[in-house]
A and B are shown apart, each in its own frame.
Chain A
Amino acid sequence: MNRLRGMGVVLAAAALMLTGCNANPANPGSSSQSAPPTKGGTLTILTSQTEISFDPAKSQSLAITSLGLVNRRLTTWEVAPNQPAQVVPDLATDTGTESDGGKTWTYTLKDNLKYADGTPITTTDIKYGLERSFAPELSGGLGYHKSLLAGADSYKGPYSGDQLASIQTPDQKTIVFKLNTPYGDWPWIASMPAFSPVPKAKDNPNTYGQKPEASGPYQVQSYTQGVSLNLSRNPSWDPATDSVRTAGPDQINFKLSQDTTVAAQSLIADSGEAKNSFGAQFVPAAQLAQAQSNPNVKDRLATSGPGALSYLAFNTQRGALKDVKVRRALEYAADRQAYLVAAGGTIAGEPATTLITPGIPGREPYDLYPAEPSGDPAKAKEMLAAAGHANDLNLTLVVANDSSTLAQAQALQQGFAKAGVKITLKPLDANTVTASVTGNDTNYDLYLGSWQPDFPSPNANIQPLFDSRQIGGGNYNISRYSNPEVDALIKKATGTVDPAESAKLWATADKMIMQDAPVIPLTYTKNSFLRGSNVRNFFIGAFPAYPNYLKVTLAQ
């Protein structure tokens, strides 16, 4: 999958550039001195992104990063150190009231909600904000709601004068969503960028992303594409209505297009402006090693707990891989140890066996194919012989052509060779890899990638990767895995509103899918970030494996 866009939710194996060193993880979870939130100062965020659009319709940003500072949504995420992420009310008074068995969801807005210019925020604006996300002019954002809202299949946005009937606003404080199927995780969906209010009168789809109407504690002060984005306080934001944003710094400046190596170096050097800065990208391998070996810097390194799943996908609709016996045999041949070394050692991840990732509520650990971390090639060989493929397997692995991904692929290649399986690497440009495996071209056997869910529900771990409706057409069922029983279970779990009950169903689905072995779970990856010495409350929760921008403060 391609490079991380919009603060990255789909991670490329390419993005996991943590090659290098031995070394122990520095306090997994956080590098924060948890300090009482202080006000004031100018925080600088160094990012390699060349553009940030604050248009909620076009954004794939996580609730706790850049957009969350400016645009509030109906619900949002409470992310704290060493705790699972929770969905909490943001503009709404609660996370949603369901009726009609999970097909109808109703929200009421809090009192005293205002935009930066003092006009009140209404549910009409939220409805309008959602409607415009359907316009082809504004495509590109997280669009889970688009396939869930009733009658939205052919809807093309408000610019042609049409409204979407399945979003109703009986009054200015109430909004009702009618879904085409029961959906228990709707409260999470309502935390996505498109659920931010957009006043129709202020909407110019071509420029709205540069200066949106702010509902959060900050507003866009200035933006120079490719260079900088400066946020200043929103005078109308009322902290009494907001439980998740501490709004510490007076000013937040994003420095765009920063070379990751140079940015990490300046954070390590920690002089001048760098003291009040943090890096939005993973620390590159060389600087990670440097940071870990220097006690003054190590404290300022935040390493996430095990997060995104990196995996090897089998194309289950091609050649010998159609045979589940072959796929099961190959599960034993994976050398996770070598893979992890190539990925950067223990600070870069830990071995994985399940599809639901740690930090997601409802995960049940299990291992259907128990073996040493370096695999069990003898057993794999035996099982392959039994399946009639003792020595004739020659599989093509499509892989992004950057050096770290290639090194990881080669580590796996050598492991499979021990089981008598020949793997031919086909390195391609990262975008080309994504386009080909998510498209309708089926000309590959194996794919190496990684997946971080868009919201912390097992649903987001499993449905995009294993629902048969997600094969091709730009979607991520890269194994092209289709099992009607699994589809039915996904549908049932999706429609179950009670979290405990749906978690059980997802855990069952997790195991049921792994019985068919459409992928080899390799590692749960860890990300490391650096901060300057004045930055406080800089931590990474159990999910997502990114720092929480909403709570960062500066020492005063």
Chain B
Amino acid sequence: MRVARFLGGRLIGMIIVLLIITFITYAIFYVLPSNPAQLSCGRPCTPDRLAQAKTFMGYDHPWWQQFLQYTRGIFFGRTFGAGPAAIDCSAPCFGYSFRLSTPVTQLILDRIPVTFSIAIGAAILWLVLGVSTGVISALRRGTAIDRLLMSISMAGVSAPAYLVGLLGILLFGFTLNMVPIGGYVPLTESPVDWLWHLILPWCVLAFINAAIYTRLTRGQMLEVMTEDYIRTARAKGLSETRTIGRHALRNVLIPVATVFGLDLGGLLGGAVITEKVFSMQGLGALLLDAVGNLDLPVIVGVTLFSAFVIILANFVVDVSYGVLDPRARTGTR
């Protein structure tokens, strides 16, 4: 019962947050002095033709009405135009991109495998890399290894993804000719090529993100290692591996999990820069392209999806607290 109420409350909260995000995206877009219908008016454009394009695309209503139509479309579907050329966008309709002649729902579904492949692989890599180097650094505090790892992580934190990506392509793609310089091969088409094309983006993202985890884990670890229960564990005669693995690391991982949830959620919503540099067509590239072309339905759709994934990731993190920390389980205090 408690669990059901907890989940129900979270679900309602999630829907409210998503509605607010849709509303804000619409509002922001219409504050800008841009006219999306104008890009579809063609050249030369006449006021009549512009008005026709506006009406057809549904941009002739006040923005709040458009927001309501959009929200309605998610639950009940929408139809643009009339007659044999009408475009039917069935529920859940997250809008229709006139530029790409495709429903936004379809566009997002098409792009998910790319973004998820990049994000999940990179996240695993950086988590393992970040936490392990963090632990090593903490345990070897003050040694040359610690300093080396900290310097590398400092470079990772401060390097822009675009630069690291391009340098990576230049070095491993062009100069050493070890990996492809970009593009994505679906897992279903060829698992080997899929992996081959993803290695470099994973490494680039891992290099940049692992740094944060290294520093975070190190700091936490140093703090935890001075706690009483570690001393107790050692006094009980537990091996050092067991002390660190079962007692110290478990507590270190709680803040790490929080940050990881947010980072992974953000990345699943689109690794904008990485996708751009590696010519991979994921959600980030879709969003970037839509912003450049004032493709409002795509902008709103992808923003909503990203928000959804971040909220979901947060939710998973909350649940995982229970696993990592027995005190956080509902009801037990």
> Which positions in A face B, CB cutoff 8 Å?
2-3, 9-10, 50-51, 53, 60, 135-137, 139-144, 146-147, 153-154, 156-157, 159-160, 205-207, 209-210, 225-227, 255, 257-259, 261-262, 265-266, 269, 271, 429, 431-432, 434-436, 438-439, 441, 454, 464, 470, 473-476
CA distance A458 to B277 in the complex (A): 40
A144–B45 alpha-carbon span in the complex (Å): 9
Residues 95-125 of B contacting A (Cβ, < 8 Å): 99-102, 107, 110-111
Whether the Cβ atoms of B41 and A474 lie closer than 8 Å is yes
B84 in contact with A159 (CB, 8 Å): yes
Q: Would you give the 0/1 interface string for B35-49, flagging 1 where the beta carbon is closer than 8 Å to chain A?
A: 100111111111111
A206's partner among B34, B56, B87, B183 (CB-CB below 8 A) is B87
Tell me how far the C-beta of B86 lies from the nearest C-beta in chain A, rounded to whole angstroms. Answer: 8
B198-220 with Cβ < 8 A to chain A? none
Q: Say yes or no: A265-B170 contact (C-beta < 8 A), given A139-B40, A159-B84, A470-B44.
A: yes
Chain A interface main SS type? loop
CB pair B110–A225 under 8 Å, yes or no, is yes
The reply on B196 being an interface residue by CB < 8 A is no
Q: Which of A209, A258, A259, A271 has the most CB of B within 10 A?
A: A259
Q: In the complex, which of the residues A9, A135, A262 contacts B85, with contact meaning CB atoms closer than 8 Å? A: A135
Find out whether the CB atom of B85 lies under 8 angstroms from the CB atom of A137.
yes
Q: List 11 A-B contacts (CB under 8 A).
A: A60-B43, A137-B81, A139-B49, A139-B53, A159-B85, A258-B182, A265-B170, A266-B181, A432-B34, A435-B33, A470-B44
The minimal Cβ–Cβ distance linking A185 to chain B, given in whole angstroms, is 14
Q: A137-B85, A153-B48 are in contact. Are A474 and B177 (CB under 8 A)?
A: no
Residue of B nearest to A428 (CB): B33
- A139 lies within 8 A of B83 (CB): no
Q: With A53-B101, A431-B292 as known contacts, state yes or no: A2 contacts B39, CB within 8 Å.
A: yes
A473→B102 contact, CB < 8 A: no
Which B residues form the contact surface with A (CB < 8 A)? 32-35, 38-50, 52-53, 55-56, 81, 83-85, 87, 99-102, 107, 110-111, 166, 169-170, 174, 177, 181-184, 276-279, 281, 285-286, 289, 292-294
Bound CA span A261–B99, Å: 25
Q: Which among A10, A205, A262, A432 has the greatest number of chain B C-beta atoms within 10 A?
A: A262
Chain B minimum-CB-distance residue to A207: B101
CB distance from B37 to the nearest CB of A (A): 9
A139: min CB distance to chain B, Å: 5
The distance from the CB of A93 to the nearest CB of chain B, in whole angstroms, is 29
Complex: A141 Cα to B276 Cα, angstroms: 27
- Determine the distance from Cα of A147 to Cα of B45 in the docked complex, in whole angstroms: 9
Q: Which of A3, A143, A154, A160 contacts B44 (CB 8 A)?
A: A143
Q: Tell me whether B81 and A136 are in contact (CB under 8 A).
A: yes
B43 touches A10 (CB 8 A): yes
Check if B45 sits within 8 Å of A473, measured CB to CB: yes
CB distance from B153 to the nearest CB of A (A): 27
B140 nearest CB across to chain A (Å): 39
> Given the interface contacts A50-B289, A261-B166, does A435 sit within 8 Å of B279 by beta carbon?
no
Given A142-B42, A159-B85, decide whether A439 and B35 contact each other with a Cβ distance below 8 A: yes
B42 near A139: Cβ-Cβ < 8 Å: yes
A209 touches B43 (CB 8 A): no
Nearest chain-B residue to A463 (Cβ)? B44
CB distance from B96 to the nearest CB of A (A): 10
- A230 to chain B: closest CB distance in Å? 14
Q: Which of B87, B110, B276, B289 contacts A259 (CB 8 A)?
A: B276
Q: B277 and A262: CB pair below 8 A?
A: yes
Interface pair A206/B101, CB less than 8 Å apart = yes
Give chain A residues whose Cβ lies under 8 Å from the Cβ of B55. 136
Residues of A within 8 A of B276 (CB): 259
Measured between C-beta atoms, what is the minimum distance from B230 to chain A in Å?
49
A-B CB proximity, top 9 nearest: A474-B45, A226-B281, A136-B56, A159-B85, A473-B47, A143-B42, A136-B52, A140-B40, A435-B34
